[in-house]
């Protein structure tokens, strides 16, 4: 009876918090991605130019509206290579680092909570643009001749850390629905794909994983993948997990109760992932230049598992 009362109390409290959060953080409509371009130099150049013009218009609109932080972020995105951009709602942005037309492998970076157009490149290597650039630079240092492109994929509405949505898989499910066709398109064009997923983005990758045509799935700073084990992901990919010793995510309870939480810790032996060394950094430190985690992620992106340093070594 005491346990039952506790469950009822927790349920009521979460329902009240959800209602309050829904008012404070109204949901935006889910934006649709642009049609996938042909992966030729000419088609990609046309898409990059078109999206750069869209970004310029969005930056001017944000400035006129007085949203200077967004305007500044968008101004920094102009002239870069985007194969998708949409300023409506929370915004979508998919940036390419490297030569996608000639790449044989592609690493897709899936970010976690509190990621938006305003933060896409404003937090250094803790932002999608910065982490993609750092990974691409590390790959070039390790294998200058590698035909690999890195994609910073903000293709879904990420939840706010200050909302109950970050405790559920609702946004992650929408992200998985968008990620699957994106990866399928890359694979259909002959690219081998590795997913590198951070924080709440690891939930997205867990939900997208079943039968997805990828060679590797690497999760860092994961609260769980909404799966009990690698076997439950129904994937033939190599599944990797890493966590810095200074990452606060290690203190998050790994539960799945009344729709809250994401289940087993991917770092747990019972989960069955390949554990790689991630150094002593914190939750936002995985792509810092010179770090153990970045070096290992680069080898995973390259599809070179023999050179990935295992955890504890």
- Domains in the chain: boundaries: 80-307
Read off the pLDDT of residues 103-151 as tens digits, 9 standing for 90 and up: 999 999 999 999 999 999 989 999 999 999 999 999 999 999 999 999 9
User: What pLDDT sits at residue 44?
Assistant: 98
Give yes or no for residue 9 having a pLDDT over 60: no
What mean pLDDT is predicted for residues 297-304? 98
11/238: higher pLDDT: 238
Give the single-character DSSP code of 176. Answer: H
> Residue 14's pLDDT is what?
37
The reply to whether the predicted model has a pTM over 0.85 is yes
Crossing angle between the packed helical segments 292-302 and 128-142, to the nearest 10 degrees: 70
Q: Please list, residue by residue across 81-110, b when 16 or more beta carbons sit within 10 angstroms of its beta carbon and e when fewer do.
A: bbbbbbbeebbbbbbbbbebbebebbbbbb
The domain at 80-307 falls in which architecture?
Answer: 3-Layer(aba) Sandwich (3.40)
User: What b/e sequence results for 274-293 when a residue is b if at least 16 CB atoms lie within 10 Å of its CB, and e otherwise?
Assistant: bbbbbbebbbbbbbbeebbb
């Amino acid at each position: 009876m005491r346990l039952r009362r506790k469950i009822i109390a927790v349920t009521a409290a979460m329902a009240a918090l959800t209602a309050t959060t829904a008012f404070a953080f109204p949901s935006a409509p889910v934006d649709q991605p642009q049609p996938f371009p042909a992966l030729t130099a000419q088609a990609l150049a046309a898409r990059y130019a078109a999206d750069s013009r869209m970004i310029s218009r969005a930056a001017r609109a944000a400035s006129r509206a007085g949203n200077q932080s967004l305007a500044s972020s968008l101004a920094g995105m102009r002239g870069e290579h985007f194969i998708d951009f949409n300023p409506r709602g929370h915004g979508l942005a998919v940036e390419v680092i490297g030569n996608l037309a000639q790449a044989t492998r592609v690493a897709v970076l899936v970010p976690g909570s509190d990621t938006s157009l305003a933060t896409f490149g404003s937090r250094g290597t803790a932002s999608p643009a910065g982490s993609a650039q750092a990974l691409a630079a590390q790959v070039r240092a390790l294998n200058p001749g590698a035909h690999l492109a890195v994609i910073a994929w903000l293709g879904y509405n990420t939840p706010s850390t200050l909302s109950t949505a970050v405790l559920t898989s609702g946004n992650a499910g929408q992200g998985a629905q968008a990620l699957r066709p994106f990866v399928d398109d890359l694979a259909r064009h002959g690219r081998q794909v590795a997913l590198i997923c951070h924080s709440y983005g690891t939930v997205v990758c867990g939900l997208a994983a079943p039968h997805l045509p990828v060679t590797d799935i690497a999760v860092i700073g994961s609260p769980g993948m909404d799966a009990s084990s690698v076997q439950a992901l129904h994937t033939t990919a190599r599944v990797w997990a890493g966590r810095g010793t200074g990452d606060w995510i290690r203190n998050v309870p790994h539960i799945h109760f009344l729709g809250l939480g994401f289940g087993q810790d991917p770092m747990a032996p019972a989960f069955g992932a390949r554990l790689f060394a991630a150094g002593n950094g914190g939750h936002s430190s995985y792509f810092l230049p010179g770090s153990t985690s970045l070096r290992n992620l680069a080898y995973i992106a390259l599809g070179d598992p023999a050179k990935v340093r295992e955890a504890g070594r």
